[in-house]
Structure formats: structure tokens, C-alpha cells
Amino acid sequence: MIRSDIIRGHLDSIILRLIMEKDRYGYEISKEISERTDQRFQIKEATLYAVFQRLEKKELIQSYYGSESKGGKRKYYRITTLGKAYFKETVEEWKEIKDIVDIFMEGFD
């Protein structure tokens, strides 16, 4: 299991990436994160909704209610144009961070 504090700074980007692929609802995002990481990283519901609030406040995503499902209407999230631009910036930033950390971590056994 990965320490969540290491990933916390990148949660916005991870969630934006998933929403960029297609509009999604909370539980679907949570499940997708677990599946793609072979259960090595799970996001708590409270954390996920805090991220949604933060991203919506920054106008990087928008929420809307989908059509009725068994448990009522589902709240979906879509990425905005601003969100896409922000995501591209974070990808570039991540590449830089990764290069710097690799300098110190690679080749050590």
C-alpha cells in the first residue's frame, strides 16, 4: 500500500485525468483508481468529495445530475476547458518532479 501523503499532492491531476477520459460519478472514479492501481491505492470517499469541491471552486470541473438510476439521480463531473489546460500544466510539472526525484533515487539498491 502506498502512503497516501505521497500521492495527495497529485490527487487533483489523477481525478482530472479520469474525468478527461469521460464524464464520471464519484463511486466510479473511486473504483477506477483502485482497479488501475491493482488495489495499491484507494481513495476515501470524504477525500474524493473534498477534491471535487476544490476542483469545482477553481472551475476546473462542473457537476451535473444524470438521469434517474436505482438510488436516485447521480452527480456526474465533467472537465472544463480551464481544467484541461490545468491538467496539461500538471503533466509537465510531474515530468520535471519525476526527473529530479529519479536523479536521487535511481541506481540505489
Q: CB under 8 Å to 16, separation ≥6 — which residues?
A: 55, 60, 61, 79, 83, 86, 87, 90
Q: What is the dihedral of CA 48, 18, 10, 49, to 10 degrees?
A: -10
**E strand intervals along 1-109:** 24-25, 61-69, 72-79
Q: What domains does the chain contain, in order, with CATH numbers?
A: 4-105 (1.10.10.10)
pLDDT of residue 3: 67
How much is the average pLDDT of 3-19? Answer: 87
pLDDT in tens, 12-56: 999 999 999 999 999 999 999 999 999 989 998 899 999 999 999
Residue type, 48: L
Q: CB under 8 Å to 91, separation ≥6 — which residues?
A: 13
Please answer whether residues 61 and 86 qualify as being in contact, where contact means their C-beta atoms are separated by less than 8 angstroms.
no
How much is the average pLDDT of 3-13? Answer: 82
pLDDT of residue 1: 59
Please answer whether residues 75 and 64 qualify as being in contact, where contact means their C-beta atoms are separated by less than 8 angstroms.
yes
